[in-house]
Amino acid sequence: MSNRFEVSYQLTPVQARDAYVDYLWRSRWASFLALPFLLAVLLAGLGTERWHLLCVFGIGFWIVCAVPFARIYLGRKQVGAALARKPVRLIFEEEGFRAESDEVVTRARWTAIRRIRVLPAALALERSRSSLPIFVPLSALSAEARAFLERRVREAGSAVGGGGRPLDEEEAPLPVRFEIAYEFTGGLGRRAGLRLLWRRYAGFLLMMPVLGAGLVAGLGSRGMEELCTFGLGLWVGVAAFLASAFWTGWRENRAAGPVPVRLVLDDEQLRLLAPEFESRLKWPAVARVWSLPECLVVDRRRLRYQIVIPLAALSPEAREFLERKVTGAGGELL
């Protein structure tokens, strides 16, 4: 049996949208089923004197929980269009896999795949520290390639992540303009995440305690109990959502031990190399660069993907080159 398989395909917007919806249903079906059932119970409880205010509070909380699912469903066409934008070439080898498109090249070991979800028309390859999987249409996979893929993912399931030698270079790189070596730690990721959260939502975060105090004070006002109870339900839901997002980021960064990273900048792309993976972003694929007190955070366009670069490892010349290439390709400096 061959130890190398190549799979080339281009998802249409409809195929990508359907695969995305199928993936959401397979991964979150319990939440989708629980939401309408919970709403029915809360609406039924509104007619009871004993549980009326509690159900008003619950409906406010329910609305906040339902908003992310509504956004996901309503945004499925945009996600499908983003996923279907470019042709994709996948290469499966014993050591790892490689995904290529016009703007992005990603190489990783098999330990980077958390699981494979089998969908009606595609396989969804869930990657560590990535919000979206790689969708591979079943029509593009031969039986041998699929068997090889599933075998390597199963075998890597018991492997220990981290360490190991870097993935071998397969292509002659472009002339390097700057090369930055540093160590990414969970602490750096946590601090960058907190500062980025503050930069984006400072006004909203400052308003939350004031709004919560006003709602609690309004509970004692005659005729305002229902409105303040409903608002308090919304407030608690938003606070729970923020706490969940914070905890998820904290846990992921805590699990990320010290990782030696090499960042290579040239005229065409930004390359991130680590022992377990390699990622290449063409400059037009970078949406923005956030300047924080301790680091720069590079955001990828269309899909959530961030690279944290400590300022201590970045020379003034390398930073000026990075910012000039990002703005020259249509990105933003924030």
d(CA 254, CA 274): 18
Q: How many domains does the chain have?
A: 3
Predicted local distance difference test score (pLDDT) of residue 84: 63
Indicate if 14 and 97 belong to the same structural domain: yes
Residue 143 lies in a domain: yes
pLDDT at 211 over 70: yes
Q: Are residues 140 and 235 in the same domain?
A: no
Last residue in a domain, options 230, 255, 280: 255
Helix axes 52-74, 76-83, angle to 10 degrees: 30
Report the C-alpha gap between 285 and 283 in whole angstroms: 5
Which of 91, 106, 87 is CA-nearest to residue 271? 106
264, 203: one domain: no
**Residue 94 included in any domain:** yes
Same domain, 212 and 239: yes
248 and 262 part of one domain: no
Is residue 168 included in any domain, yes or no? no
pTM: 0.65
Residue 270 has pLDDT above 80, yes or no: yes
**CATH code of the domain containing 2:** 2.30.29
pLDDT in tens, 14-50: 777 788 888 878 877 777 788 888 888 888 888 787 7
Q: Which domain holds residue 274?
A: 176-184+258-333
Which residues are registered as beta bridge partners of 290? 297
Return the CATH number at 283: 2.30.29.30
Q: In angstroms, what CA-CA distances link 65 with 58, 68, 78, 235, 328? A: 10, 7, 21, 11, 40
More confident position, 159 or 12: 12
The residue among 236, 255, 274 that closes a domain is: 255
**What is the overall mean pLDDT for the chain?**
78
Domain limit, last residue, from 202, 234, 255: 255
What tokens were used for 110?
């098999």
